């Protein structure tokens, strides 16, 4: 079995350290899992800038440069997207971060920093993160930078492989389907009541509610939930959260995600009716 090295994390300007000992997810537990979808910007240019900065730091401390490995890069991008759902070294499905790639020996994570310079500076100030960056045995890494709802999530996955260097510096919008074990706290983009006129439409969004800081509330795609209208003659809602007002009356719209229900009442008025 691989000798798994220190794993550590940093959130905004608050530092913390943890060692992962989470067991594998059992078949019974896996059966309770569900999937949520997130979409955001994968900033490859920022990822390679982070690599440049940490290699300069390694050089200053007598360490050889490390290269971007394709498999570790894929892992880091996936993990960065997962951080927007659950900021932890334990993955949203309950498994260890190491299950994302067999080549991974250590992981640094962060959230909230706006630039590569900021996140590298924060990691350098933290002893366990700095130890990972300056580990002489590491020869490769994967770096993920994922932006969701205005927040950047950062990941460094380190490895000992010296495989060929991989280069992909093109930013892209990417969608991820993420397996989740536990119930997520979330809210809808509307309050308890909504008034609409016949024929009007409105997109209802889902936001994961962070227990750490409201700033880190990430946006989930509306298809992550199951939607239902109590009166389809009055209002309908499709799987993508598009609400359509049909005719005068009231209806209750319910979203169910991971066994948690959220609902609101919609009142539809005639198109020429004043409030």
Judge whether residue 36 has pLDDT over 80: yes
Q: Report how far residue 107's alpha carbon sits from residue 144's, in angstroms, rounded to the nearest whole number.
A: 11
pLDDT of residue 211: 78
Cα 184 to the chain's mean position, in Å?
13
> Taking residues 26-54, what's their average pLDDT?
86
CB 212 within 8 A of CB 228: no
For all residues of the chain together, what is the average pLDDT? 88
Average pLDDT over residues 204-228: 91
Q: Is the pLDDT of residue 58 over 90?
A: yes
Beta-ladder partners of 255: 227, 262
What's the mean pLDDT in 148-157?
A: 96
Residue 100 predicted with pLDDT over 90: yes
31: pLDDT strictly greater than 60:
no
pLDDT at 273: 63
| Distance, CA of 109 to CA of 247 (rounded, Å) | 50
In the block, tokens 């078949």 appear at 27
Stretch 249-262: mean pLDDT:
97
Question: Among 3-12, 173-182, 236-245, 258-267, which stretch is predicted with the lowest mean pLDDT?
Answer: 3-12
DSSP 130-153: HHHHT-TT--EEEEEEEEETTEEE
Task: Kindly give, in sequence order, each residue whose CB lies less than 8 Å from that of residue 79, ignoring residues fewer than 6 positions away.
Answer: 91, 97, 100, 107, 109, 144, 155, 157
* pLDDT in the model for residue 245: 97
Residues 220-239: what's their mean pLDDT?
Answer: 97
- Is 263 within 8 Å of 190 (Cβ atoms)? no
pLDDT of residue 3: 46
């Amino acid at each position: 079995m691989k000798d798994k090295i220190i794993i550590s994390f940093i959130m905004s300007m608050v530092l913390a350290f943890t060692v992962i000992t989470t067991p594998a997810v059992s078949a019974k537990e896996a059966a309770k899992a569900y999937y949520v979808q997130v979409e955001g910007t994968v900033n490859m240019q920022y990822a390679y800038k982070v690599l440049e900065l940490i290699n300069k730091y390694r050089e200053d401390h007598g360490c050889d440069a490390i290269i971007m490995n394709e498999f570790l890069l894929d892992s880091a991008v996936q993990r960065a997207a997962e951080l927007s759902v659950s900021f932890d070294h334990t993955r949203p499905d309950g498994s260890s971060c190491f299950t994302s790639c067999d080549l991974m020996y250590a992981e640094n994570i962060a959230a909230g920093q706006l630039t590569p310079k900021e996140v590298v500076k924060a990691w350098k100030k933290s002893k366990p993160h700095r130890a990972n960056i300056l580990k002489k045995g590491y020869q490769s890494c994967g770096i993920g930078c994922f932006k969701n709802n205005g927040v950047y999530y950062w990941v460094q996955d380190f490895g000992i492989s010296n495989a060929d260097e991989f280069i992909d510096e093109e930013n892209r919008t990417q969608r991820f389907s993420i397996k989740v074990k536990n119930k997520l706290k979330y809210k809808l983009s509307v309050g308890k009541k909504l008034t609409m006129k016949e024929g009007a439409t409105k997109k209802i969004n889902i936001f994961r509610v962070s227990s750490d800081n409201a700033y880190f509330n990430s946006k989930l795609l509306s298809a992550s939930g199951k939607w239902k209208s109590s009166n389809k003659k009055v209002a309908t809602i499709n799987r993508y959260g598009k609400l359509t007002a049909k005719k005068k009356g009231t209806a209750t719209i319910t979203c169910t995600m991971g066994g948690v229900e959220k609902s609101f009442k919609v009142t539809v008025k005639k198109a020429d009716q004043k409030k």
